[in-house]
Amino acid sequence: MDLIEPIAPNNGINYFSKDVNSFILEYGNVTDVGRLLSTSSLLLNHYNELTKFLFQTLNVIDCNRLYLDELYKITYDYYQKLFYLIFVKDKINNNLPLNTELTQLRNTLRTSLINDVSIIRIRKYMRNNVNLQETRCFLEVNRIETRELQSAVQSNTSIIIEYRPFDTSGTNNEYFNDSIIIYPSIGSEFTTFDFETLIQNCSSTKQSLLLKEISKFNEIILCLPSPDFIQLLPLFITFVKYFISLNTSVPSIKAYYLNLNDLVKQSETSGQIFNTNSFTNQNNKNIIVGLENEYNSCYMNCIIQCLLEINELSSMLISNSFLNNIDYINPKNSKGTIITALARLEQTMVKSSLSNKMFDQQKTSSCLQLKKCCGTINQMFNSNHEEDCLEFCEFLINSMHDDLKKGTFIRVPQTNINGNKNQKNFEEQAYFAWYSYLEKEFNLIVELFQGQMASILHCQYCLYQSNTFQVFSTLSLTLPPHPSCYIHECINQFYRPENLMGNNEWECSNCKMKRPATQRLQITKFPKILIVQLNRFSNYMNKNTCYVKYPPILDLSVYRNTENIIPKYSLFGVTCHTGTMDAGHYSSYVKKQEDSWWHFDDAKCRPVHFANEFISPNAYVLFYKMIE
């Protein structure tokens, strides 16, 4: 869907809402030729879209007369603004270079405006029909109170559509049974709206289905985030064109400015609204709400339920504190769209959870918008196929890391590492490598999810040792071909040295030739959040169904590391996989307040049936939090 966007967002220009006199005053002192011509080009595009709509589409249906008058008046306003910029300003500003793209653009605009015959029909209509006192009925956006909205929908003949940019600081939530939330497409530009794209941009499948039934309502109430919302005109055209396609009359359409941050205070009389600001102080472990399965999104739902139980992450997302730390310079990130989508989802989940408790409801939330944002960055998540939940988890964590600014006042500590990197300074090497990484990459995501691992190669001939350090966020454990085992057996296998012999001999940098060697892995820095994968699909052919028995408290103190801490972890999340690789399903167990465990299966959520139900033979990814 294409949207109207100002040519200079920082200037706050709203082309359709400014009358001609205000527009002339604003541009009277502008001497930047490039800006004048680019603005003219945008106005011409808008003007052409409106004339095409008026003379090719609206003549097939009896449209509300006030709406027609308004559209003709807006189109005429566009023509007057174009005339001023192209002809009047052209006489004032004669310093346009010759034989340039700007010259060609100006000539194209002049030719288009001179040869246009639509203006004759517009002037004729306005001379005979338009009462200027009655126009702008739709584009006049007024403030509305929640009680007025409540009374408007009591008859079930009105539908509320909340349309708001995805990057606003307001929160998005349904407050009424018949209400729809629509987000604009990412990175779109204005030509005209498309109703099918509006359906796709609804915040959930349930709302998409409701939007398809819009013809049964007698009144459409649009709730906008600001009184001069620039998408209002094309949004209106979209609805009118849709009713034309159905060959039905256009219902009443009203636009209101609904400031959710101010309006959603607890009302003693209605008992319908609660303060959205209050959820920043709520314990996130109270979030108990299901997630709809949107086009096989169970692999996302199970991960989201687990990640949102991390207090530090949830606090950042709920409070919107991340907004000041988005990295807009990094060409490889999503410019904050992914972390913003996750934040909006959690905020909706918090409010839905509170609403469910207050009114004994079973309202669910949807990760559809997050799925769409992820799909724009990685095509893997742009399909309706089932994907691996761990791959999504790693993608989401890496995307949040990329979206946030990096670097800190941390400096690499001075060490006594000499040129001889042998065993005696192994701890110093690990320490130095970790702080070197923090100096460039540190942010909250690194602090929570990332640790450090060493790959140690040891020459059996000269005893030279080579240490390579790398950052990790997931500990992948190979499972034995047995019916069951304990998780420590898998961890021991992870630490077990591998002999490099024969064709696999290591080329020792000290011997300058291939030698028999041993290779082993060692964790030198344990992360605060330890994500453990029980690798059931290592051969990509068959699923290993070994029942891995993992404890609620995981003590890793027996495994050597370079830190002065005792790595003990408390289990708080488990994702489970049932079925086969071709036809499987994901669900999750999550630890809530007072050590209570809940099972989340998409939209369904329930307490566990027995104490250790979360120790599941279907466990695939385990989430542990370090005990301070």
For residue 367, indicate whether it is catalytic: no
DSSP annotation string for 244-275: HHTT----EEEEEE--HHHH----TTT-----
Per-residue pLDDT, 469: 95
Does residue 118 surpass a pLDDT of 50?
yes
The tokens 């049964």 sit on which residue?
216
Per-residue pLDDT, 97: 58
Backbone torsion region of residue 102, taken as left when φ is above 0, otherwise alpha when ψ lies between -120 and 50, otherwise beta: alpha
Does residue 47 surpass a pLDDT of 70?
yes
For residue range 422-443, list pLDDT tens digits in order: 445 888 899 889 988 998 899 9
Active-site residue, from 137, 488, 546, 585: 585
What is the token pair recorded at 282? 């709520």
- Phi, psi angle pair for 311, to nearest 5°: -55, -45
For residue range 393-429, list pLDDT tens digits in order: 999 999 999 999 887 656 656 555 444 444 458 888 9
Per-residue pLDDT, 622: 98
Q: What are the E-state strand segments in 464-537?
A: 465-472, 474-478, 484-486, 498-500, 506-508, 513-515, 517-525, 529-535
* CA–CA dist 468, 450 (Å, integer): 16
Task: Report the pLDDT averaged over residues 491-517.
Answer: 93
Does residue 339 surpass a pLDDT of 60?
yes
* Average pLDDT in the chain: 79
Q: Which of 12-26, 311-325, 587-601, 608-622 has the highest mean pLDDT?
A: 608-622
For residue 585, indicate whether it is catalytic: yes
SS3 for 581-611 is CCCEEEEEEEECHHHCEEEEECCEEEECCCC
Half-sphere exposure of 87 (CA within 13 A, CB side): 11
- Exposed (0-12), middle (13-18) or buried (19+): which is 360, by Cβ within 10 Å? exposed
DSSP annotation string for 36-50: HHHHHHHHHHHHHHH
What's CA 411's distance to the chain center, in Å?
A: 33
Does residue 324 surpass a pLDDT of 80?
no
Nearest to 263 by CA among 148, 139, 140: 148
Work out the percent of the chain whose per-residue pLDDT is above 90. Answer: 33
Model confidence, pTM: 0.62
Is residue 574 within 8 Å of residue 586, measured between CB atoms? no
Is residue 226 within 8 Å of residue 257, measured between CB atoms? yes
For residue range 66-106, list pLDDT tens digits in order: 667 777 888 888 888 888 888 887 665 555 555 567 777 77
Beta strands at 513-515 and 498-500: parallel, antiparallel or unpaired: unpaired
Nearest to 74 by CA among 51, 57, 41, 90: 51
Work out the percent of the chain whose per-residue pLDDT is above 70. Answer: 75
What is the token pair recorded at 33? 């030729």
Per-residue pLDDT, 1: 26
DSSP state at residue 412: P
Half-sphere exposure of 316 (CA within 13 A, CB side): 20
* CA–CA dist 245, 265 (Å, integer): 41
Per-residue pLDDT, 65: 64
Per-residue pLDDT, 576: 97
Task: Report the pLDDT averaged over residues 319-347.
Answer: 85
Per-residue pLDDT, 76: 85
Per-residue pLDDT, 389: 95
* CA–CA dist 433, 425 (Å, integer): 12
Lowest mean pLDDT among 30-39, 168-177, 336-345: 168-177
What is the token pair recorded at 17? 């809402």
End-to-end CA distance of the chain: 49
Per-residue pLDDT, 50: 82
* CA–CA dist 583, 385 (Å, integer): 10
Per-residue pLDDT, 371: 92
Does residue 109 surpass a pLDDT of 50?
yes
What is the token pair recorded at 611? 């104490």
Task: Report the pLDDT averaged over residues 364-384.
Answer: 89
Does residue 598 surpass a pLDDT of 90?
yes
Lowest mean pLDDT among 107-111, 385-389, 554-558, 597-601: 107-111
Domains and CATH numbers, the chain: 18-133 (no CATH), 142-263 (3.40.250), 276-403 (3.90.70.10), 451-626 (3.90.70.10)
- pLDDT range class, residue 564, cuts 50, 70, 90: confident
Long-range interactions of 534-538: CB distance < 8 A, separation 24+ = 534/477, 534/479, 534/490, 534/619, 534/620, 534/621, 534/622, 535/476, 535/477, 535/478, 535/479, 536/479, 536/577, 536/620, 537/388, 537/581, 538/478, 538/479
> Strand, helix or coil at 55?
helix
What is the token pair recorded at 462? 């000269």
Does residue 276 surpass a pLDDT of 60?
no
* CA–CA dist 256, 569 (Å, integer): 51
Is residue 75 within 8 Å of residue 141, measured between CB atoms? no
Active-site residue, from 298, 367, 393, 490: 298
Per-residue pLDDT, 306: 96
Residues facing 522 on adjacent strands: 454
Lowest mean pLDDT among 432-446, 494-508, 560-574: 560-574
Does residue 171 surpass a pLDDT of 50?
no
- pLDDT range class, residue 114, cuts 50, 70, 90: confident
- Phi, psi angle pair for 131, to nearest 5°: -100, 110
Per-residue pLDDT, 541: 65
What's CA 527's distance to the chain center, in Å?
A: 25
Lowest mean pLDDT among 215-224, 283-292, 417-426, 612-621: 417-426
Backbone torsion region of residue 352, taken as left when φ is above 0, otherwise alpha when ψ lies between -120 and 50, otherwise beta: alpha
